[in-house]
Amino acid sequence: MSMIPVNRVSYEELEELINSLSFYKIKRISNIFKGLAHPLRLQIIKLLLKHEALTVSGLLEHMEVEQSLLSHHLAILRRIGVLESHKQGRNFFYRIREPRIIELLSCMAHCTCLNE
């Protein structure tokens, strides 16, 4: 497995960045992590990476869940700003709204804490 280069940040730069975050931004970051912290939601993101945009029916073809449960998780991902949807005819298509989420997930996938 090839490693993705990580931009190394000094402790001082990291501390400055963290200190510059407003309470509102910290709360938003926390909500995004909470929203991503479910295997089904990560599976949805994985499928949308592969297919770019899918309807609920298209997602259901790849997942063994009830439509209501999938819709619930899609709503959470939309609410935190990770996904967006657009209507085309009678169907809603979902796609990844924030590409930096992919960078975050890539970073997590290469995190050494996963090697325990």
Does residue 74 lie within any of the structural domains?
yes
Q: Are 41 and 77 in contact (CB under 8 A)?
A: yes
- Residue 45's domain comprises 39-115
Place of tokens 């400055």: 16
For residue 69, is it within any domain?
yes
Above 60 in pLDDT, residue 48? Answer: yes
24 assigned to some structural domain: no
**CATH number of the domain residue 93 falls in:** 1.10.10.10
Residues in the chain: 116
Does 32 map to a domain? Answer: no
Let me know if residue 14 belongs to a domain: no
- How many domains in the chain? 1
pLDDT-derived band at 7 (thresholds 50, 70, 90) equals low
> 58-74: per-residue pLDDT in tens?
999 999 999 999 999 99
**pLDDT, average across residues 98-109:** 86
pLDDT score recorded for residue 110: 80
